[in-house]
Amino acid sequence: MFGLFKKSPLKKLEAEHKALLTKGFHAQRNGDVRAYSFLTAEAQAVREKIEALKAGEGS
C-alpha cells in the first residue's frame, strides 16, 4: 500500500537522460563539441543504468 506513493527511479533516470541529450544537442548547435561529447557520454551512462534497471525488473 505504501509503495503506491513511491516515485519510480526509472522515470527519474529517463527524465535525466532526456535533459542530458537536450543539453548536448544545444551544445552541438552552438559549436561546443567538447561539451557535446561530454554530455553524450553522460547520457549514455544514464541509458545503461536504465537498461540495467529494466532488465532487473523483468527478471
Contact 41, 49 (CB under 8 A): no
What's the number of CA atoms in the CB half-sphere (13 Å) around residue 6?
A: 7
Is residue 4 scored above 70 in pLDDT?
A: no
Q: What rounded mean pLDDT belongs to the chain? A: 91
Domain boundaries, the chain: 2-58
Q: What's the pTM value of the predicted model, to 2 decimals? A: 0.82
- Report the pLDDT value the prediction gives residue 1, as an integer from 0 to 100: 54
- Report the pLDDT value the prediction gives residue 15, as an integer from 0 to 100: 96
Which of 1-10, 12-21, 36-45, 46-55 is the least confident region?
1-10
Q: Would you give the distance in Å from CA 41 to the centre of its chain?
A: 10
Q: What type of residue is 39?
A: L
